[in-house]
Amino acid sequence: MSVIESTDPALAEASVGAAPRPARRPRRRPMRPAGVAKRVLHYVVLAAVLVLLMGPFVYTLGTSLKGDADSVFSYPPYFIPRDPTLENFAKVAEIIPVWTFIGNSLIVATVSTITNILFGSMAGWALARLRFRGNASAYLLFLATLVIPFEVIFISVFLTSKQLGLVDTLAGVILPSAVTGFSILLFRTAFGSLAKAVDEAAVIDGASEFQRYWRVSMPQVKGTMAVVGIFSFMFAWDDFLWPQIVLTSQQNYTLTVGLEFLAGAFADDQKVVAAGTMIAVIPLIVAFFIAQKWFFRGAGEGAVKG
Amino acid sequence: MRPRRLLTPWLLLAPALAVALVFHIVPFFRTVQLSFTDFRLSSGGQYIGLENFGALASSEVFWLSAGNTLLYVVVVVPLLVALPLLLALLVQPKIPAMPFFRASFYTPVIASMVVVGLIWVFLLKEQGPVNWLLQTLRIVQEPLPFLTDGTLLLFSCMLVTVWKGLGFYMVIYLTALANVPGELHEAAQVDGAGSIRRFWSVTIPSVRPTMLLVGVLSAIAAMKVYAEIYVIAGPTAGPGGTVRSMVFTIREVGSGFDGQIGYAAAMSLVLFVFTIGLTVVLQKLNRENREA
């Protein structure tokens, strides 16, 4: 792993040499020993924080793979199983209908991603690109939804959902965050910063509003689409309070609610609980590490624009 | 203008307006209205004036929840304003392997609070790795009862909140740091300022607005704390039911077959006023700070 390699001074120096720098100017001296020491120290601190923030996941992964002959609470603790097995994962599937929960979470998160991108961009485009009576009021209304925390209103949202027959349905989980003020405002800023000329040319060419939105503007805000999509998916996948309130029967549970149920019922079997948490988090971590380059670029863009 | 043109904006806005009105704006006014009733899920209710608020004022559980929530804000917010800034400075330089470190430091953010809470419940057990570490380093003699002592339990929840939040605020700071002109640092360096001096007189002043933003965001998040309490302290709010936040209590009294909706709505309004008030206070503090 590169972390360990980089704490080796020779290698750290080599990698420093490889780093791009405006080197040719004679004023710049090559890195002094003090500079190398500083760089090594930097990596040592990074490695320490890495252990602090990733260690718990790795340790739990190890625990989830431990077999009958392994101890979970030993002094000193160890995380590489001596009797490795996948049995704990099988046990999770026996105790709770984990595939159903995963399916429910996937439906909720995917639908919420699509609706936030689609409805958020529609509203954001109308607010940023069309002049009409009521534009400012609609904008203020969306701002207001950002100021009112959902935790303040969830009791009466539950009443509304009950009257609409949405209790204990996945639609009931999705609808309150199907399009958030956050998504709308991000799209509004993104569309607002697009050049007007292309849009005006499209108007002269006789394009309808819908064509201008879908064919001219949408392809230019892919970064914002990525940010809104990733955050909507993550929020829906991780949310706990609302699904816990609105879902009453087990076959409709999302993964977070199901996991809490598993932990409540099998608190003593640490290996099984560990396996359950890994089922919930590993797909997300893998997807995130694949998309991370894109994510940090998009998040930066979104924040600058927003 | 053709009539179709007049309709277009509203067609585009329709889904978003429907969601905002039905699931946010109307429920807010309904919460206000319900707070003046003794509405129950099973039996309905009628107007009772300010009785709910009177009941709140004399309710021990309410004051316990409010006290815990404010303590949560006081402990968690300074940590979440300071630590992610240091973390951002740590991962800012473009040196080899940095994308890997950034992504790793963000991982606790993408995991759900339920997963993170369950992982820490395991780590903080009496015979768990954290206690082993503390004992091996001779920081404590006996294992600490992180999950069984009421006071420690609340601090365990705070630890998890901070641990999970670091990466999120780190990314906000990274964006802010990217906008600090490099010349400022160079000029300070030429003037002989060391790195600690430059941190206080260049970095801090240039990210001050971001620190306020992080302070407000983390304070609002702390006011709404729920999942970590539920997962770590359990559905019964720890020993004696003392480890509870305001949202925890709102859910407890307001849901279920015979939920006291009116009473829960009154408590929700108090939470709302606290949240808004806190935001205003933080903003004011920042302004005074700047003038000083």
B223 CB neighbour count, 10 Å cutoff: 25
Element spanning B131, H or E: helix B129-136
Q: Measured between CB atoms, which of A46, A145, A147 is closest to B101? A: A46
Contact B255 A245 (CB under 8 A): yes
Contact B9 A144 (CB under 8 A): no
CATH class for the region spanning B59-291: mainly alpha
Q: What is the mean pLDDT of each run of 10 residues along chain A (306 residues)?
A: 37 40 52 82 95 95 89 82 89 91 95 97 95 93 93 94 94 96 94 86 87 90 87 91 94 94 84 92 85 67 41
Residue with tokens 């808004």: B276
Contact B272 A148 (CB under 8 A): yes
pLDDT in tens, chain B (292 residues): 455 677 889 999 999 999 999 999 999 999 999 999 999 888 878 899 899 999 999 999 999 999 999 999 999 999 999 999 999 999 988 888 888 999 999 999 999 999 999 999 999 998 889 999 999 898 888 888 999 888 999 999 999 999 999 999 999 999 888 888 888 888 888 888 888 888 888 888 889 889 999 999 999 999 999 999 999 998 999 888 899 999 999 999 998 778 899 999 999 999 999 999 988 888 888 777 666 5
Instruction: Reduce the DSSP state of residue A46 to 3 states and report it.
Output: helix
Mutate to test the interface with A, among B110, B173, B267, B276 (most CBs of A within 10 A): B110
Question: Cα angle at A239 between A253 and A181, to 5 degrees?
Answer: 130
Residue at A145: amino acid letter: T
| Cβ–Cβ gap A149/B275 under 8 Å | yes
Q: How many residues are listed for chain A in this entry?
A: 306
**How much is the pLDDT for B69?**
96
Largest CA distance in chain B: 81
Q: A241 with B251: CB under 8 angstroms? A: yes
Q: B133 CB contacts (<8 Å, ≥6 apart)?
A: none
Give the predicted TM-score (pTM) of the model.
Answer: 0.87
Tell me if A240 and B226 make a contact (CB, 8 A cut-off): yes
Nearest chain B CA: its distance from A135 CA (Å): 9
The tokens describing A208, both together, are 């309808």
Q: How far apart are CA A74 and CA A196, in angstroms?
A: 66
pLDDT digit string (tens) for B198-215?
Answer: 888 888 888 988 999 999
Size of interface A-B (CB pairs under 8 A): 262
Contact (CB<8Å) B16/A123: yes
Give the pair of three-digit tokens for residue A226.
């990525």
Three-state secondary structure readout of B33-58 = HHCCECCECCCECCECCCHHHHHHHC
Quick check: B103 and A288 in contact, CB under 8 A?
yes
Q: Which residue of B has its CA nearest to A280?
A: B115
Chain region(s) in chain A for CATH 1.10.3720.10: 92-305
Q: Is the backbone peptide bond immediately before A76 cis, with ω within 30 degrees of 0?
A: yes
| Residue B37 backbone dihedrals phi, psi, to 5 degrees | -125, 170
**φ, ψ for residue B44, nearest 5 deg:** 70, -165
Cβ contact, residue pair B31, A76, below 8 Å: no
Q: Please give the backbone phi and psi of residue B47, each rounded to the nearest 5 degrees, phi first.
A: -65, 125
Neighbours of A83 (CB within 10 A): 10
In the CATH scheme, what architecture does the domain A92-305 have? Orthogonal Bundle (1.10)
Residues 6 or more apart in contact with residue A60 via CB below 8 angstroms: A274, A277, A278, B119, B122
- Buried b / exposed e over B19-33, threshold 16 CB at 10 Å, is bbebbbbebbebbbe
Nearest to A124 by CA among B20, B236, B34: B20
| Backbone φ and ψ of B97, nearest 5° | 75, 5
Residue of chain B with shortest Cα separation from A145? B24
Length of chain B: 292
